[in-house]
Structure 1
């Protein structure tokens, strides 16, 4: 039986990966210490997801471990010796990183380093997949000429008709402290692949979403937006007239991508991973989409100050991914994603 180790196993992507590989007959070890509750308070608590996984998975074992604990990480990898490591644990918020910079860097950069070195020592043949972020590009995507449309910003340069490719520079731009800590992790994952010949991969995610997301204001765009609508809570738009665009990918399609990479691994791989143009949407467009589903008008306020390093328009170019991982593609449309988010939050808010 093959063994998978997932960090951040109670988060959105981690829990999806656990369920996906458990269903395929893998033995799954999940690492999560519910740091999201510490970061985001009660709304960020992921213990409900831990209980769901323990109740529904066939071969899941949970380990309460902080990835900053180097000795603990080394001991775990020595004991488990997994075939596949999927590293999703992170401090994921722009804003929180500025107020807690040491925690941000220690979790995102040092925690990743702990896992890489433990893998090199105790499971060097394992495939190592790191959930990176499009924030490694900093605000460089904002240098692309844009055109303002009634409900969104759009690329004016036809070279970006398919979105942002992996060849975009990550240098000499403003990232936010979160983006910078993720750059450190991203580059180290690549280096362990190239220098040591390990099978490593960075997935530079756009907006990753799905029904098991504990969406909060500082993290989880669509999930939090849907929750605000259903609770008739005020949503805050930060700058860009609410026309900023994100491409959204369902967590299931992320798990499928990891499966495809496991079957076709390579050292130091980098992929932009989002929903692509078909799954792109602006905040204003998302307000309209969720209101049409729920019948509840969206309550919001506008702050004419964007978050530092935030993207005006970001769409992932999936061309490289489709070439390198033939057979993989988006299976969940934006309408599927909205339907699932609304249904999930309606159920969760009953409890």
Structure 2
């Protein structure tokens, strides 16, 4: 299966979370494929952010609002009349979820329900993909790759709220989807990296700030493992999944997206690779600051996505690091970052469609 403009051209897409890191990449990828995008999200949090650096707002209908406000969600849905809903908006940071558990639960669970309920009155039922996380599984810290059939759980408020979002979406699908003609599924993605991420508590932005500020990078859990993947590989999986949902009634209702293989690199390994790619003089140290508990081992089994919808990751190993480092180097050199980001997207689409 190939994600192409023949499917996406002219499609009305409601994209939640469009002002975030993944959301901005998704905005540009969707518009490149010819979709008409309506975005719904809070304002971009960081003064320095990919959404503004790439002038995303000029390409779409951008609505600034809060998922916790059902009237704002409903008004946007009615204005967009989407063929497709890609729901990525969330409170997505583990450490922040400890500080703001109420906000996290309300956004990730109540906000998702507000969105799904707003779809019921639409005259033409959309295809819906709800994005959750690789952290929805009950993590026994063995490092074994989680399959879609494994039990859901979550220790921290973020992970638990996303597991609850999975349960909510499944309940809504079984209770209402057939009645309203809506096709709905969930995507569980690994840790994504790529250019243009400036968020707090994420490895690549932390590296970028350390290099630019001339100080030593601090790592909280250097031996923790995560299923790292490039943001474009992840988003390409979402698009393929949506195409499959639209065309095939037998597509699984949940899929994992992450790198192939059973031995994901550690935080230390990925940090050292990116540090070496962007600066020859930067080094790291273990953070001395205590923090809330974070899972040390995390891995995904992504065979079902590969066999059921024909997805594959293309920016692996050296490419994963190189493409990320190239973006930040271009940014540091004052390049036109909209043009550079679009160039990476077009190059990726060429590679992915050639290899599918």
The answer to whether 1:68 aligns with 2:73 is no
Aligned length: 316
2:301 corresponds to: 317
- Matched ranges for 1:1-351 at <5 A: 1-34=10-43, 36-37=45-46, 42=47, 48-49=52-53, 52-55=55-58, 57=59, 60-122=60-122, 125-138=125-138, 140-142=139-141, 144=142, 155=143, 160=144, 163-171=145-153, 174-196=154-176, 197=178, 198-216=182-200, 218=201, 220-239=202-221, 242-265=222-245, 269-277=253-261, 280-293=264-277, 294-303=279-288, 307-308=292-293, 310-326=294-310, 328-349=311-332
User: CA separation in 1, counterparts of 2:207 and 2:149?
Assistant: 31
Alpha-carbon contact 1:229-1:297 (below 8 Å) kept: yes
User: CA separation in 2, counterparts of 1:12 and 1:235?
Assistant: 21
Alpha-carbon contact 1:94-1:177 (below 8 Å) kept: yes
Q: Could you tell me how far 1:346 is from its partner in structure 2?
A: 3.1
Of 124-133 and 279-288, more deviation after overlay is shown by 279-288
Specify every segment of 5 or more residues in structure 2 that has no aligned partner in the other structure, as ranges.
1-9, 335-356
User: CA separation in 1, counterparts of 2:263 and 2:39?
Assistant: 30
CA RMSD of aligned residues (A): 2.5
- What do residues 10-56 of structure 1 show as CA deviations (whole Å, max 9, x unaligned)? 2122122211121121111111222634xxxx56x56525x52135x
User: CA separation in 1, counterparts of 2:42 and 2:123?
Assistant: 23
Cα gap change, 1:298 to 1:278, in 2 (>3 Å)? farther
Q: Could you tell me how far 1:306 is from its partner in structure 2?
A: 6.6
Alpha-carbon contact 1:248-1:276 (below 8 Å) kept: no
Alpha-carbon contact 1:189-1:268 (below 8 Å) kept: no
Q: Could you tell me how far 1:73 is from its partner in structure 2?
A: 0.9
Q: State the SS of the aligned residue for 1:281.
A: coil
Q: State the SS of the aligned residue for 1:178.
A: helix
Of 248-257 and 82-91, more deviation after overlay is shown by 248-257
Alpha-carbon contact 1:236-1:301 (below 8 Å) kept: yes
Cα gap change, 1:245 to 1:124, in 2 (>3 Å)? farther
When the two structures are superposed, what TM-score results if normalisation uses the length of structure 1? Answer: 0.81
User: CA separation in 1, counterparts of 2:307 and 2:82?
Assistant: 28
Of 336-345 and 176-185, more deviation after overlay is shown by 336-345
User: CA separation in 2, counterparts of 1:99 and 1:46?
Assistant: 25
User: CA separation in 1, counterparts of 2:87 and 2:213?
Assistant: 33
User: Which is richer in strand?
Assistant: 1
- What do residues 225-244 of structure 1 show as CA deviations (whole Å, max 9, x unaligned)? 344244333433324xx211
Cα gap change, 1:168 to 1:303, in 2 (>3 Å)? farther
User: CA separation in 1, counterparts of 2:42 and 2:268?
Assistant: 35
Cα gap change, 1:229 to 1:287, in 2 (>3 Å)? farther
Cα gap change, 1:62 to 1:282, in 2 (>3 Å)? same
Specify every segment of 5 or more residues in structure 1 that has no aligned partner in the other structure, as ranges.
145-154
2:342 corresponds to: none
Q: Could you tell me how far 1:274 is from its partner in structure 2?
A: 1.7
Of 229-238 and 60-69, more deviation after overlay is shown by 229-238
User: CA separation in 1, counterparts of 2:255 and 2:50?
Assistant: 27
